[in-house]
Amino acid sequence: MKIIVIGDSILKGAVTGTDSGHLFDIIEESSLNLAQKTLGFEMDNQSVFGNVISKGQRKLNKMLERGETADFCIVEFCGNDSDYDWALVSENPTATHQQRTMLADYLRIYEEMVNALREHKITPVIMISPALCAERWFNHITNGHNRENILSFLGGDLEKPFKNQKEYDDALVTLAAKLNVQTVNMREPMLESGHFDDLMCKDGIHPNEAGYRFMADIWIKEIPSLRSEF
pLDDT band at 16 (very low <50, low <70, confident <90, very high): confident
Give the whole-number percent of the chain exceeding pLDDT 70: 97
- Residue 52's identity, in one-letter code, is V
pLDDT reading at 21 higher than 80: no
How far is it, in rounded angstroms, from Cα 22 to Cα 19?
8
Q: For 97, phi and psi rounded to 5 degrees?
A: -120, 135
Residues 6+ apart with CB under 8 A from 80: 8, 50, 51, 52, 100, 101
- The backbone torsions φ and ψ at residue 102, rounded to the nearest 5 degrees and listed phi first, read -65, 150
Q: Is the Cα torsion angle 149, 150, 153, 157 positive or negative in sign? A: negative
Look at strands 25-26 and 182-185 and give their pairing. unpaired
Give the model confidence (pLDDT) of 157-210 as tens digits: 999 999 999 999 999 999 999 999 999 999 999 999 999 999 999 999 999 999
In this predicted model, what pLDDT tens digit does every residue of 95-106 receive, in sequence order? 999 999 999 999
Q: DSSP letter at 196? A: G
pLDDT attached to residue 26: 84
Over residues 42-78, the pLDDT tens digits come to 999 999 998 999 999 999 999 999 999 999 999 999 9
Q: How far apart are the first and last CA of the chain?
A: 13
pLDDT at 152 over 70: yes
HEC assignment per residue over 139-166: HHHHCCCCHHHHHHHCCCCCCHHHHHHH
What are the φ and ψ backbone dihedral angles of 184, each rounded to 5 degrees? -120, 115
* pLDDT recorded at residue 19: 66
CA distance 24 to 16: 5
